[in-house]
Structure 1
Amino acid sequence: MAYIDLEDSLDGIKGIGPKRAALLADQGIRNLGDLLTNYPRRYLDRNFTKDIILKQGDVVTLLGNISDSYLVHGKKSRLIVGFKTLNNERINLVFFRGVNFFNKLFTVDRKLVISGKLEYFKGYQIVHPEYEMLNDEKDDESDLLHAGRIIPLYPSTESLKEEGFDSKGFRKIIHFVLGKGSIRENLPPALVRKRKLASRDDSFRKIHFPETMEAVGEARRRFAYEELYYFQLLLFYKQKQREKIKRLLWPIPKSPTADLLLKNLPFRLTEDQTNAVHSILKSAKQDVPIAALLQGDVGSGKTITALIIALHYIDNRIQVAMLAPTEILARQHFETIYKFLGNMPFLGIELLLGGENKKLRAEKLARMKNGESSLIIGTHSLLQEDIQFSDLGLVIIDEQHKFGVDQRETIRSKGKNPDILAMTATPIPRTLCLTLYGDLDLVNIRSKPAGRKPIDTRWYKEERRAGVYNSIRKYIKEGRQCYIVYPLVEDSEKVDLESCTKAYEDLSKNIFPDLRVGLLHGKMKSAEKDSVMAAFKQNQIQILVTTTVVEVGVDVPNATILVVEHANRFGISQLHQLRGRVGRSDLESFCILMTGDFISDEASDRLNALTKSNDGYELAEKDLEIRGPGELLGVKQSGLPEFKIADLVHDRNLLEEAKQDARDFAKGDELEKVEIQSRFQEGKFIFAN
């Protein structure tokens, strides 16, 4: 049998002209490979019901003809369509919606297959059944691509359906293509045997036209492995390409400034922090630039760890850039680092933000360009074209999942093949690390500084609000401070939630008129935000009503109470990040999750998880399980490929196997010969034969 070339266009398929081809191309289906990897979204078991005795409550699939139809008028009009089975049993098909459409569609003697749940009302009936029209020719009983078997249902759009590309249309053209020949294997035969995978040709036939659901499972496993294997190969390929460009700037093994800082710190580094410093500096001894991901739960001390590493570069006259996603976080880093290094003005610490005075900005840019500034901290403003460095050798990217791949490459391109130290306070599940950051060295800080107590997290409903307010008042009278976080900035007509601006008015005037209440949200001007945060840090504001603008970077050790309103609207990782705003001292701290009385089961799972655990890594795994990787990180932003079939939650074991197999392959010289790059375009898989 001839082989099918998956790169062939769709032109050879009967009935696909330029208009239809363009519509399919809009959905990413440009060639035969795209068509065959447009996998079914689900399946219907339309094997014909074999029992001749029909029973109420059974879900049945039956072949038959239309015998009659009539309209019934009343409080709610409905269409009754008489359907006769091959055993001459009558079943009424009842339609309450689309009455006129179905009245024209279901003509007498029309042959079709129906599926649905049998009910009994003056005879058997099925309300709004699923149906497939069959051809009327007697010799075409076998239009049974669409009935009498397990049939696939495909993703489609209204415009595609108008051109005949509903599930039935896709089944027809895919059946036609698979009939043209067989499909070449694209995995090494040894791997197919080792992992007990079905062949590629067999898998395409099983996934589109399965005889059993077990066969679907076999095919799905094969294609999931294939996607994961080639993605891991791509990561190893990128790593090898990066290693071809040798290191230009070397950090020094011993940093006098780092030693002085460590001597003057009012605390000792944790064992995890010390190990992280040693691990990353050891990697920096190699002649290839490093790319590391420093993971640390909220409050674990990543900033001081990164600073000590940075000083080994700065002492060798190598510039360091620290990129933060928000102005609040950038300013927080600047203030924290300046506090640590304030008696060392010779280091040249710079803060670069957007919207600064032109003269001031020009002076900063000049210092960066001529090398006077050693440590430059900023936001997206560091990515602008006019930013130039003298000798940029280390880029620290905080909350790195909030920056896209292009942004990370932009900042790298401004240096001399700099080392990359990505940091995240959002613990990333191991599965995602293997996928997203397989080409990075992973360094974890799991322990927290000595003296930190677990945060007491509680979930309360509306009837406990008065008690919560009493507790807030009690702790504030003892000198503590409180955050109250709302999901919205302004009232929204679409989302019926109390906004933080409205809440601020109520809390300051009616609930706590005797206390100092402040307001902070993302739509305020930078100067206003800075002023509010300064007042809160100095305890001039006792209760800060805010949005998730405080999610990262705000460090006020005296704030020991966090109340999250409408907590069911937040994800686990975001709630955990918010919770990290308290518990930043040896004082007992509380996180109160407030919700209404009726919330979804999924939201209940999230909130219960928060009350039971303070471990960000454990919670990240739970979040991945509940929400999936795309929603957890944001597919486009994170660089996560849009896998067509692999599922990073359920295919964890497959991912481990694929990574090991890809690593073994990458050890040889064959990786350079494989056209890895051609398999990926814009994060989407394109398979070659």
Structure 2
Amino acid sequence: MSITPLDSLAGVGPAMAERLARLQLAGVEDLLFHLPLRYQDRTRVTPIATLKPGREAVIEGEVTAADIVQGRRRSLLVRLRDGSGIASLRFFHFSPAQKGQFSRGTRLRLFGEARTGSTGLEFYHPEYRLLRDDAAAEVEETLTPIYPTTEGLAQPRLRALIVQAFERLDSGDISVEERLPDGLRSRFRLPALRECLDYLHFPPPDAPLETLAEGAHPAQRRLALEELLAHQLSLHRVRLDIQRDAAPELNASNGLASRFLTRLPFSLTGAQRRVLTEIGGDLARATPMLRLVQGDVGSGKTVVAAMAMLAAVAGGYQAALMAPTELLAEQHYRSLKGWFEPLGIDVAWLSGKLKGKARLDAKARLSEGRAQVAVGTHALFQEDVHFHRLALAVIDEQHRFGVHQRLALRQKGETGTTTPHQLIMTATPIPRTLAMSAYADLDVSMIDELPPGRTPVKTVAVADERRSEVTERIRNACLEGRQAYWVCTLIEESEALTCQAAEVTRDTLTEALPEFAVGLVHGRMKSAEKAEVMAAFRDGELDLLVATTVIEVGVDVPNASLMIIENPERLGLAQLHQLRGRVGRGSVESFCVLLYHPPLSDSSRERLGVLRESSDGFRIAERDLELRGPGEVLGTRQTGLVGMKIADLSRDRDLLERVRELSRALLEEAPEAAEPLVQRWLGDAAGRYGQV
């Protein structure tokens, strides 16, 4: 789709174009989709006598006095009278020439917010203009839009550029074509695109300001729906691109799986068996599986992934599991090695920190097919790593990678002739609304049942001035033979400072609890050191583990029954829920203490309240989405979603079912409309969805 250069507009030179680029405005057409944040009503003149403090208004009157007054700050005070009363204009920054404008008898019209001041109602630095007789009756015909802007770009200048864009649209110099066919628009009861743009940039005086402020006007909803549709279509294209390739057909029912299950010290839950049936159906097809498995903390996703990997091994192929951190990857490696090696399966380990001979050996075993299973970090999918016959790639905590790292797996199939099946796992429950948008290219399975014997964790919030009571609580738990975590976070976003805080906390707790063994683990320790400390804690050699949020995933210590989280107000609900999931993994009653620093903001109090009231990860994730927005919940690396121009996944969640229906209908009835629509909303970003 061609765009009209911004410098074709009057007044747009290189400097202005650079400011507009900061707002992601690349062409004149983009200005039409740069929607207002809010509106001001300048369509009527308000009598001074009816002004209310805190309200914006247009007033008009005659100057009766203009004086420089000396108070705490020197100011210019202008008195303005209409037929109903008197108000004041106050300027703290003014020039002699400006003072000269306000001669007695001059008529003014101004816009601003009325505030209570020392002279009655006052307007501070209002927008104003001098009135000539022939302009006395003029008022704005529409509400005045207030746009998102940037430094050096004032509202009047931006409004003027947008008016120019609409003039070019009216003259036919540019166009915004309706991408949705009339039949579909009629069936889904969608107003015309041009009608929506006109209304939102130039709303009539009686437009419902409250509805517009909530993003609930039909014109806003039409545009939000079209933008969500563009994202849906782009991910659908990714799915189609991948599923055009061939994949190995894998039969999940084999002797290996039976032998594996008989060795497990527990039985699978009904939810695990249901999800395995869904995965088995995908693996048996000759098109690549693209499935996301969601499950709350401790629901048993790793066992499900292991069963899927066994299907690949039984078919004479390889499987790989990739995790975002060394710590989590190591945990998976230990689990799979313990399960698979007794079955005669060679498990290779590969991470960025693996060097020299060990790395060369792991790569050789994978490329020659001697290792049937690989576990590691993103190092698994670097160019110099080759698989013999990779049939299944399992990716844990997918939201930390993003779309294109997932697509890179297409290159790792058997000599490029097949594409591996993909199984994505997350222990961070993704709200259904986000899953429908961020993972529209994936089928979604849910493990919504915890293994028997798991007890819900009781959560309490305690102010940090009661730290000594919390320390005593740890002493009591350890005296009973239990173990505890103390998680350190800082208000500042600094890993170095957080690690330092953890070290100080470790020293303080060692002094306060001399009869117990206290360990420390943080992100700056070497991998081997971390593993050693974790193993000591797991084996009961340590009573208390002080840690940063590196323990969010990957540590399973059933004997740990108490967790203290410092500064929980700075973490998202989903992350707090993940941390809390490290305790309550045995049959003993467990507790999580949120040690906050008062005073709490209203939003922090609400978030911590949600955590205290619920242990349902999916409900918590929905509330996290409402309170923090999709960018924070998904992680900023998830391509595209954070940069939506109009749609808001929290606010517009009810549109997503219609978006899916509309997407299906458009692809069936007018597939040629999909690409131009994706280009309109995603532009260059659209290509990145499909890149490897």
TM-score (normalised: structure 1): 0.90
Unaligned runs of 5+ residues in structure 2 are none
Match of 1:173 among 164, 167, 174: 164
Alignment partner, residue 574 of structure 2? 573
CA contact (8 A) 1:351 1:377 kept: yes
What SS does the aligned partner of 2:153 have? helix
Q: Report the CA distance shift for 1:516/1:103 in structure 2 as closer, same or farther (over 3 A).
A: farther
CA contact (8 A) 1:300 1:446 kept: yes
Alignment partner, residue 115 of structure 1? 112
Q: Residues 316-395 of structure 1: matches in 2 within 5 Å?
A: 316-344=315-343, 346-395=344-393
Alignment partner, residue 207 of structure 2? 213
Instruction: Say if 2:622 is the partner of 1:621.
Output: yes
1:252 Cα offset (Å)? 2.4
Q: Report the CA distance shift for 1:47/1:513 in structure 2 as closer, same or farther (over 3 A).
A: farther
CA contact (8 A) 1:472 1:561 kept: yes
What SS does the aligned partner of 1:298 have? coil
Cα deviation 1:111-170 (Å, max 9, x = unaligned): 5522212425334323x35x33448676566885xx464211111111334xx8745444
AA aligned to 2:171 is: K
Q: Residues 486-635 of structure 1: matches in 2 within 5 Å?
A: 486-488=488-490, 499-509=501-511, 511-635=512-636
What SS does the aligned partner of 2:638 have? helix
Q: Residues 9-24 of structure 1: matches in 2 within 5 Å?
A: 9-24=5-20
1:196 Cα offset (Å)? 2.6
Larger mean Cα displacement after TM superposition, 189-198 or 441-450:
189-198
AA aligned to 2:664 is: R
Q: Report the CA distance shift for 1:656/1:454 in structure 2 as closer, same or farther (over 3 A).
A: same
* Aligned mates of 2:283, 2:409 — CA distance in 1: 19
* Aligned mates of 1:331, 1:12 — CA distance in 2: 57
1:647 Cα offset (Å)? 1.2
Instruction: Say if 2:150 is the partner of 1:157.
Output: yes
What SS does the aligned partner of 2:253 have? coil
* Aligned mates of 2:686, 2:122 — CA distance in 1: 45
AA aligned to 1:312 is: A
Q: Residues 80-479 of structure 1: matches in 2 within 5 Å?
A: 80-82=76-78, 84=80, 87=83, 89-96=85-92, 99-100=93-94, 104=98, 107-108=101-102, 111-119=108-116, 121-126=118-123, 128=124, 131-134=126-129, 139=134, 144=139, 147=140, 149-161=142-154, 166-170=157-161, 172-174=163-165, 176-177=167-168, 179-180=170-171, 183-211=176-204, 212-214=206-208, 216=212, 217-247=217-247, 249-344=248-343, 346-415=344-413, 416-479=418-481
Q: Report the CA distance shift for 1:27/1:284 in structure 2 as closer, same or farther (over 3 A).
A: same
Instruction: Say if 2:37 is the partner of 1:32.
Output: no
RMSD of Structure 2 on Structure 1 (CA) = 3.0
AA aligned to 1:583 is: G
* Aligned mates of 1:278, 1:87 — CA distance in 2: 80
* Aligned mates of 1:51, 1:104 — CA distance in 2: 25
* Aligned mates of 2:495, 2:398 — CA distance in 1: 33
Larger mean Cα displacement after TM superposition, 398-407 or 492-501:
492-501
* Aligned mates of 1:192, 1:102 — CA distance in 2: 59
Cα deviation 1:550-580 (Å, max 9, x = unaligned): 0011111111111101111111001000001
Q: Report the CA distance shift for 1:489/1:232 in structure 2 as closer, same or farther (over 3 A).
A: closer
Q: Report the CA distance shift for 1:185/1:66 in structure 2 as closer, same or farther (over 3 A).
A: farther
Larger mean Cα displacement after TM superposition, 547-556 or 458-467:
458-467
CA contact (8 A) 2:45 2:59 kept: no
Q: Report the CA distance shift for 1:141/1:430 in structure 2 as closer, same or farther (over 3 A).
A: farther
What SS does the aligned partner of 2:643 have? coil
* Aligned mates of 2:580, 2:541 — CA distance in 1: 22
Q: Report the CA distance shift for 1:673/1:521 in structure 2 as closer, same or farther (over 3 A).
A: closer
Q: Report the CA distance shift for 1:282/1:73 in structure 2 as closer, same or farther (over 3 A).
A: same
Q: Report the CA distance shift for 1:245/1:370 in structure 2 as closer, same or farther (over 3 A).
A: same
Deviation >6 Å, runs of 4+: 489-498
* Aligned mates of 1:6, 1:206 — CA distance in 2: 25
* Aligned mates of 2:79, 2:392 — CA distance in 1: 73
Match of 2:50 among 51, 54, 62: 54
Q: Report the CA distance shift for 1:11/1:311 in structure 2 as closer, same or farther (over 3 A).
A: same
* Aligned mates of 1:70, 1:476 — CA distance in 2: 75
* Aligned mates of 1:179, 1:63 — CA distance in 2: 33
AA aligned to 2:404 is: D
1:587 Cα offset (Å)? 1.9
CA contact (8 A) 2:58 2:110 kept: yes
What SS does the aligned partner of 1:581 have? coil
What SS does the aligned partner of 2:423 have? strand
Match of 1:72 among 51, 56, 69: 69
CA contact (8 A) 1:452 1:583 kept: yes
AA aligned to 2:226 is: E
AA aligned to 2:556 is: D
AA aligned to 2:229 is: Y
CA contact (8 A) 1:565 1:594 kept: yes
1:38 Cα offset (Å)? 1.0
Unaligned runs of 5+ residues in structure 1 are none
What SS does the aligned partner of 2:49 have? coil
Alignment partner, residue 644 of structure 2? 643
What SS does the aligned partner of 1:499 have? helix
* Aligned mates of 2:495, 2:278 — CA distance in 1: 52
Alignment partner, residue 43 of structure 1? 39
What SS does the aligned partner of 1:213 have? coil
Q: Report the CA distance shift for 1:213/1:672 in structure 2 as closer, same or farther (over 3 A).
A: closer
AA aligned to 2:657 is: E
What SS does the aligned partner of 2:419 have? coil
Q: Report the CA distance shift for 1:85/1:290 in structure 2 as closer, same or farther (over 3 A).
A: farther
CA contact (8 A) 1:69 1:103 kept: no
CA contact (8 A) 2:341 2:347 kept: no
CA contact (8 A) 1:491 1:497 kept: no
1:604 Cα offset (Å)? 0.7
* Aligned mates of 1:100, 1:419 — CA distance in 2: 69
* Aligned mates of 2:495, 2:113 — CA distance in 1: 39
* Aligned mates of 1:498, 1:348 — CA distance in 2: 40
Aligned residues with identical type, % of pairs: 36
Q: How many residues align?
A: 670
* Aligned mates of 1:489, 1:149 — CA distance in 2: 45
CA contact (8 A) 2:563 2:591 kept: yes
Q: Report the CA distance shift for 1:13/1:338 in structure 2 as closer, same or farther (over 3 A).
A: same
* Aligned mates of 1:607, 1:636 — CA distance in 2: 26
* Aligned mates of 1:441, 1:255 — CA distance in 2: 24
Q: Report the CA distance shift for 1:685/1:601 in structure 2 as closer, same or farther (over 3 A).
A: farther
* Aligned mates of 2:395, 2:85 — CA distance in 1: 70
